[in-house]
Structure 1
Amino acid sequence: MSALPVDDSPLDDVWAALAHVEHDPALAGFRAELLDGVIFLSPPPVPDHERIITRLATEIVRHDAKGEFTFWAGGSGLLTESGSGVRPDLIITDTDAFSGARGEYNPVAGEPIHLVVEVTSTSTRDQDYRRKRQIYAEAGIPYYLIVDRQQRVCLLHRLPDDGSRAHGEPVARVPFGKPLPLPEPLSFDVDTSTFG
């Protein structure tokens, strides 16, 4: 992962810089995110990373008989109130979420986001565990799932019932190969035996 510091430019200039980086042909396939005023570039994911995302998305579709949920994989950006622009590996929402959204990064506030997922890579692992966990909690996203390919474990974090915005210790820690129970409203177990 590479980082490009952004000075105290107006927010519009920061987003213009991010858009420029994302559309630079020399960086095709890289994912750009804005975390705390710094643009981070992540290299294109490896096939094992993408297989896990595909398997998670397939599980959601398989268990969503009523068609209540929508998921976005990889490309959809979230704009948080703190000004971060993140692109989770997977976002699970109600079907009508972001219905009118037209931007590459859409505000999180007021949207029914149930879960965001990050699958670790050696270049992004530290961000996934630290800063992104904090960003997703501050945005009020109730559940954050880290699928750690290096440790072969799934860690499900949850916002506490007291209204605070911090994902504490995981509420579920499931090694690859064991079923991962997802909370309401999803309410199904994910088969992690195919994660690697």
Structure 2
Amino acid sequence: MTAVPEETPRPKLAVVPHLLTVAEYAELGEVESGYTELQEGRLLMVPSPAPRHNLASLELAIRLRGQLSDDLVVIQDVDVDLELAPPGAPGFSRRPDVLVVRRPALKRVEEEGGLIRASEVEVVIEIVSPGSYRTDHVIKREEYAAAGIPRYWIVDLAEPISLVDCQLAGEFGYQQAPDVVGKFETTAPCAIVLRIDDLV
């Protein structure tokens, strides 16, 4: 008789009897399939990205890292408290593909715990996946603008690869520049030049 190896149990998402605050969400940790985001206290399962998506995210982070001013740092795939609700209320948290944050945010998280805060973010970047077009272009765009994040870049890997630069314009939300293909240049949050046609 052949012994069948036991499967190592993976953590399961607990049934949550109420809407979660951001602090409660942060305590959940990783779950068995993909990862979660939090929208007004409700857990959203987000499938893990495809390899092409991950490659583009890594390339963006590498290209940004060498161009950022000393007070900024690029990080990937971390939860952000959008600060759209008081601490005890059902909260909002997203996990963007790439972030540009102020360097002191890292020290604060190390010392105090919790998540990166929207008020510490200079640029949030989402790479469009199959099935995320409306979420990235409408829902997250509205949430990131409401959270006061100055710039939101949406990268679409469909040929030709393009980048949409959304810039916060006060009460009007994001003003959107035309889609960029080939070379993207900006002066905010610092001087950055990105070739986006060869990300993957």
1:108 aligns with 2:118: yes
* Match in the other structure for 2:82: 79
Taking structure 2 as the reference length, the TM-score comes to 0.76
**Identity %, equivalent residues:** 23
Structure with larger RCO (C-alpha < 8 A, sep 6+)? 2
The Cα of 1:44 is off from its aligned counterpart by 1.2
What is the CA–CA distance in structure 2 between the aligned matches of 1:96 and 1:18, rounded to whole Å?
Answer: 20
- Gap runs ≥5 in structure 2: 1-15, 86-90
Where does residue 174 of structure 2 map in the other structure? 167
Deviations 1:117-148, CA, capped at 9 Å, x for gaps: 00011132221111110111001101000001
Tell me the residue number matched to 2:145: 137
Query: Which residue identity is paired with 2:72?
Result: F
- The alpha-carbon deviation at position 192 of structure 1 amounts to 0.9
Q: Note the alpha carbon deviations across 1:15-70, whole angstroms, 9 max, x for none.
A: 646754x533x32xx12001233321111111111111111111112223x53321
TM-score by length of 1: 0.78
- The residue number in structure 1 matching 2:167 is 158
Tell me, what secondary structure is at the counterpart of 1:39?
A: strand
Residues 42 and 123 of structure 1 are in contact (CA less than 8 Å); yes or no, is this contact kept in structure 2?
A: no
Shift of 1:107: 3.1
